[in-house]
């Protein structure tokens, strides 16, 4: 028990250290990029006295250590600065754009987890057969094809040619602003409002971007599940279970798969974190108003406050989900007790 508490304390103590390192990295990025934050605010045609006054107000005339201290205190208080692009605080923008990314990533991870685990288990059980080969080719395609290619092909087939699904965007024009924003997750807000039409319209717009992300993610999940399952199916306890006459289904799901859940938790959490960081290319191609698109547009407009704020949020998501995965790993694996 003492060792377990000590390990948990060490894991928790690593979080602030990691966040502090992330703050240092983002601060240095803001100082080394060839973008002058003053000119991004006042414009490159502003008089010199206006430029100098803005530089003094931002504290850019002070020593680097003082600039970092100011950046550290402001960030820890939740002040990421003001976005040049939207004129809102970066915190307000993140709260507005992140729910769209959360919705897209959540649907994508659900689809990829269900299909990826099922395909991985099937491939492991049928190792060496045509089923196993088909799953491996499918996973190879998911890893090899770039996301933007899949997105463009999906739009071309399902939107332009077949007309089965709507085009880019998060909602059709007819349903724009028809549902009160409560959670920011459009499908949930539509259900809370009792608007079934808006709900299905939101699901239809979700289908393509979520499907593209799910295809890319489930290829990795299926490959890792197959590897974990093969290791378990070769174990001695599986041989013993077969000798006792247990059914294949019980051996696979009650014994082998149960032991793969521990490493699979880490895989699923890190995959979800990767989706939550903002699928930049997917959100851009499908005009999905999420964090990835916000980060891309901010970078193109030299809006460094927005870029650094969004980068910090992405890093925080990775740290938190990695910590949760580690805690669940310790809870689920009896060998860590």
Confidence class for position 232, pLDDT limits 50, 70, 90: confident
pLDDT at residue 26, rounded to an integer: 75
- The per-residue pLDDT for 119 is 92
pLDDT exceeds 60 at position 59? yes
User: What pTM was computed for the model?
Assistant: 0.83
Residue 7 pLDDT grade (very low, low, confident, very high; cuts 50, 70, 90): low
Instruction: State the DSSP H helix or E strand holding residue 157, giving kind and residue range, or none if neither.
Output: none
Two tokens at 131? 């089923």
Judge whether residue 314 has pLDDT over 70: yes
Look at residues 275, 270, 240 and name the one whose alpha carbon lies nearest to residue 255. Answer: 240
Give the C-alpha separation, 308 to 81, whole Å: 10
Q: Which two tokens stand for residue 26?
A: 């983002």
Whether 39 has a pLDDT exceeding 70, the answer reads no
Domains delineated in the chain: 14-76 (no CATH), 94-167+214-336 (1.10.3720.10)
pLDDT at 294: 86
CA distances from 221 to 120, 215, 237, 272, 328 (A): 8, 10, 25, 11, 18
Each residue of 174-227: pLDDT tens digit? 777 778 888 888 888 888 888 888 899 989 999 999 999 898 888 889 999 998
* 64-123 residue pLDDT tens: 788 788 878 877 777 777 787 777 888 888 888 889 999 999 999 999 999 999 999 899
């Amino acid at each position: 028990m003492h060792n377990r508490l000590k390990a948990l304390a060490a894991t928790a103590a690593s979080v602030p250290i990691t966040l502090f390192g992330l703050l240092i990295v983002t601060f240095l990025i803001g100082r080394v990029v060839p973008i002058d934050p003053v000119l991004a605010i006042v414009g490159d045609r502003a008089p010199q006295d206006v430029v100098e006054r803005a530089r003094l107000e931002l504290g850019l005339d002070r020593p680097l250590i003082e600039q970092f201290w100011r950046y550290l205190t402001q960030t820890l208080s939740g002040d990421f600065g003001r976005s040049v692009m939207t004129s809102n605080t970066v915190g307000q923008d993140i709260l507005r754009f992140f729910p769209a990314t959360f919705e897209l990533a959540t649907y994508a991870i659900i689809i990829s987890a269900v299909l990826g685990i099922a395909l991985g288990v099937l491939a492991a059980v049928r190792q060496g057969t045509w089923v196993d080969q088909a799953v491996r080719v499918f996973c190879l395609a998911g890893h090899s094809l770039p996301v933007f290619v899949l997105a463009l092909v999906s739009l071309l087939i399902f939107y332009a040619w077949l007309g089965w699904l709507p085009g880019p965007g998060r909602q059709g024009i007819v349903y724009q602003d028809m549902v009160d924003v409560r959670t920011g997750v459009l499908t949930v807000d539509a259900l809370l409002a009792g608007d079934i039409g808006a709900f299905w319209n939101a699901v239809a717009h979700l289908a393509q971007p979520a499907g593209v992300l799910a295809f890319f993610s489930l290829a990795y999940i299926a490959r890792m599940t197959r590897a974990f399952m093969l290791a378990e199916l070769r174990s001695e306890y599986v041989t013993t279970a077969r000798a006792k006459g247990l059914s294949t289904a019980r051996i696979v799901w009650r014994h082998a798969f149960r032991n793969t859940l521990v490493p699979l938790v880490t895989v699923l959490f890190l995959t979800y974190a990767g989706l939550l960081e903002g699928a930049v290319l997917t959100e851009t191609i499908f005009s999905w108003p999420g964090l990835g698109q916000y980060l891309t547009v901010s970078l193109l407009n030299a809006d460094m406050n927005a870029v650094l704020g969004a980068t910090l949020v992405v890093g925080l998501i990775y740290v938190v989900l990695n910590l949760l995965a580690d805690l669940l790993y310790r809870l689920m694996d009896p060998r860590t007790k």
